[in-house]
Amino acid sequence: MNTSWLVETHGDPLGILQNTIKAIWEQLDLDAFMFAANGSSKPRLFTEWQQVGEINPFKPLMTQNTAKHVPEAIENFPDGRIGVLLKPCEMRALIKKGERENIPLDRLLTICADCLGTYPLEDYQWRADRKGNPERLAWESLHFARQGGIASYRFRSACQSCRTPVAQEANLNFGVIGLPVRRKILVQSQDPQVIDRLGGALPLSENDQTLMEQRDIIISKILQRGSQTRQRLGDSLESILPKDLEALMLQFEQCGECRECFNNCPLCTADYPAKDEHGSYLREDVKEWMVSCAGCGMCEQACPNHLPLVTIFSMIREQLIQSIQPTC
């Protein structure tokens, strides 16, 4: 059963999130915690809870998918338990990665926060320089959380067409979309251990049905906007995009041995699509990759040819999912 709390923030939603993670870290005696610190673009392992002040999941930047680094973290602590902070697309990738690579996800405490969107790296750096402080960009995103974020056209195409930016499926989820974050944020969990530890540790407010209904409305609008964006991008690029799986495989062959999209995909770290004796990628491997796609956009971000891979993969993924759905 999912347990939810509306938590009073007293003007400091990030501080509430950090303190909640600190409490969980201490009470569950985690050996380490993985997250992308404020001054780093790559997720790192931290072993002291005092470093929790470096956590900021609302930083509008994502240069690597944290799920890609989880197996290495588990290997570093073979007998311990690790916390990991994820964006929703990273959470989706981790679940798929666990299924494909037999990763012991029960060794993890997963924490996920609503994503308010991320900028391309160059745009982020430009905006951070203009603001004079990168942290102001995160606060800017939070300021517009109640409206569902700032103008999405500023973000990476993966964020513009995101299937869902909502935190879910983790051991502990933080919700900010559609909520007045200077007053309240949402905390949810299905993990009995987490529920037991947090039950008396959070500054809870009364359950506000109006706020929850408002959140649902904003989320619905965001999902509709993402669907419309995917359709619009697909329509605008239809004449130049691979239209099906076979055409996509041909595109990969034309890319030669680049493989930057594979190298940066969290699902291909240890399981690249294989080739046959003629040098062509195996259809079933590419199909499985497409269906499993988490939509994080790391492939497109790394592509030296600047191919619109997010749009391509989204279109073909939807075709494949429709083809494998049972008919009534």
Task: Tell me the C-alpha distance between 44 and 40, whole Å.
Answer: 8
User: Residue 234 — pLDDT band, cuts 50, 70, 90?
Assistant: confident
CA distance 272 to 286: 9
Buried b (16+ CB within 10 A) or exposed e, 18-49: bbbbbbbbeeeebbbbbbbbeeeeebbbbeeb
**What percent of the chain has a predicted confidence (pLDDT) above 70?**
94
pTM for the predicted model, two decimal places: 0.91
Alpha-carbon distance of 114 to 88, in angstroms, equals: 7
Helix (H) or strand (E) holding 34: strand 32-35
Domains of the chain: 3-231 (3.40.640), 238-324 (no CATH)
Average pLDDT over residues 238-247: 82
Specify the pLDDT at position 36: 85
- How does residue 48 score in pLDDT terms, banded at 50, 70 and 90? confident
Residue 203 has pLDDT above 80, yes or no: no
**What does 266-306 look like in DSSP terms, one character per residue?**
TTSSS-PPPB-TTSPBPHHHHHHHHHH-----HHHHH-TT-
| Mean pLDDT of the region 135-156 | 88
